[in-house]
Structure 1
């Protein structure tokens, strides 16, 4: 397993951005609390984006049939709450853009969808691949308010930033490495 750093994530971004832009999210699954699978379709081609935020093996990739069989993924009969939230906000949505902030281990997928009354909304799925701080955060791009995240982080766990529904989304603090 490769260690995910900013350069490797940049290569993933460059290689897959053309497929992701204008792709539609067809299906969302959450096999475990640290894994999410987004099935996307674009130009007649379907791919499954596998996101793993395990502290030791955090990564993301597009799965093929062979890769999926090796992972032995078991989908629970009752989806977790975060999966249901993602389905509510993202199933059928179109990806407007994919972004990778420079020198960060973050991939952002910005979606266009429509709410219950038919208004167009934009929401962003931020995939943060940062070891024990890895997380998946869904937030509204209009007001940067978090709709939900895979792991809620309160002030007792982090003095730098809190992550929970209803709070503003802010980027992780910069590291003071030279």
Structure 2
């Protein structure tokens, strides 16, 4: 599974097209680490599933309905208090990392207009869903509380200032210069299949392998300038997918076993059976 920053970028574009400017109609929490927001837009009810599961963290639209507990959890009740009737005014990804921030225009306890941000961190066992009050960056609540004895660098619980995970020192694939000075282990590692996952935030080894393979097919290798040429090629590749050039694809082997999925049609997966979808 390659839910990397590029895949999340494709999801963010799809979500913007479908739910931006919509209003929250319902909030449910069917699982301890999962919420479903029903958003009303253009006379349609659209369900947004957000999971902070350690094994399968994700965010996507869904048409499925789930049974909800008789007594809603505290986090669910808090989200209902601040988000029911709120308008989704902004949705953005943080630096091509696996973090999405959803800004909702709502009202505070005094009845004044206020922006509340739902921050979704899709990071394996560290995944979380947190609601903050944007004007003062205060955590209203999170689906998982992180106390100082669990993480001394970064706590998350009601009443404290929200702190993002440590920033990646890698390059943002959508905002970098091909002239950037990059240190590599050795000249021989320049065209290793995972080189770009070490250089760029949000690029998985699966995508790195694809880009390096395409580069080798389409370019005559000049070892002296290989890294710079690879960065130039990569920049053009990333620019092409900012134009919403996505093809959500599931890959299966000859026995029908699921092997992987991605938001692009990968040439390096040409030997696998492909099933394409219009939506993630």
TM-score w.r.t. structure 2 length? 0.59
**Secondary structure of 2:82's match?**
helix
Q: Give the structure 1 partner of residue 121 of structure 2.
A: 128
* Count of matched residue positions in the alignment of Structure 1 and Structure 2: 171
8 Å Cα contact 2:138-2:162 kept in structure 1: yes
**Secondary structure of 1:11's match?**
helix
Quick check: 1:137 aligned with 2:130? yes
Q: Give the structure 1 partner of residue 94 of structure 2.
A: 101
- Structure having the higher Rg: 2
8 Å Cα contact 1:137-1:146 kept in structure 2: yes
* Contiguous gaps of at least 5 residues in structure 1: none
Give the deviation of 1:176 after TM superposition.
5.2
Q: Give the structure 2 partner of residue 24 of structure 1.
A: 23
Q: Greater helix percent: which structure?
A: 2
Q: Give the structure 2 partner of residue 86 of structure 1.
A: 79
Give the deviation of 1:82 after TM superposition.
0.3
Quick check: 1:160 aligned with 2:159? no
Q: Give the structure 2 partner of residue 33 of structure 1.
A: 32
Q: Give the structure 2 partner of residue 117 of structure 1.
A: 110
Tell me whether 155-164 or 79-88 shows the greater mean CA deviation.
155-164
Quick check: 1:146 aligned with 2:139? yes
Question: Alpha-carbon deviations, 1:36-95, whole Å to 9, x = none?
Answer: 00000111122100111111111111112xxx16xxx22001000000000001011001
Give the deviation of 1:160 after TM superposition.
2.1
Aligned mates of 2:55, 2:21 — CA distance in 1: 32
Question: Alpha-carbon deviations, 1:144-176, whole Å to 9, x = none?
Answer: 010000011011111221001011011111245
Aligned mates of 1:156, 1:176 — CA distance in 2: 26
8 Å Cα contact 2:19-2:46 kept in structure 1: no
Structure with the bigger RCO (C-alpha within 8 Å, sep 6+) is 1
Aligned mates of 1:3, 1:75 — CA distance in 2: 30
Aligned mates of 2:56, 2:109 — CA distance in 1: 37
TM-score w.r.t. structure 1 length? 0.91
**Secondary structure of 2:70's match?**
coil
Tell me whether 164-173 or 113-122 shows the greater mean CA deviation.
113-122
Aligned mates of 2:169, 2:153 — CA distance in 1: 14
**Secondary structure of 1:37's match?**
strand
8 Å Cα contact 1:20-1:97 kept in structure 2: no
* Contiguous gaps of at least 5 residues in structure 2: 171-197, 199-280
Aligned mates of 1:125, 1:74 — CA distance in 2: 23
Q: Greater strand percent: which structure?
A: 1
**Secondary structure of 1:7's match?**
helix
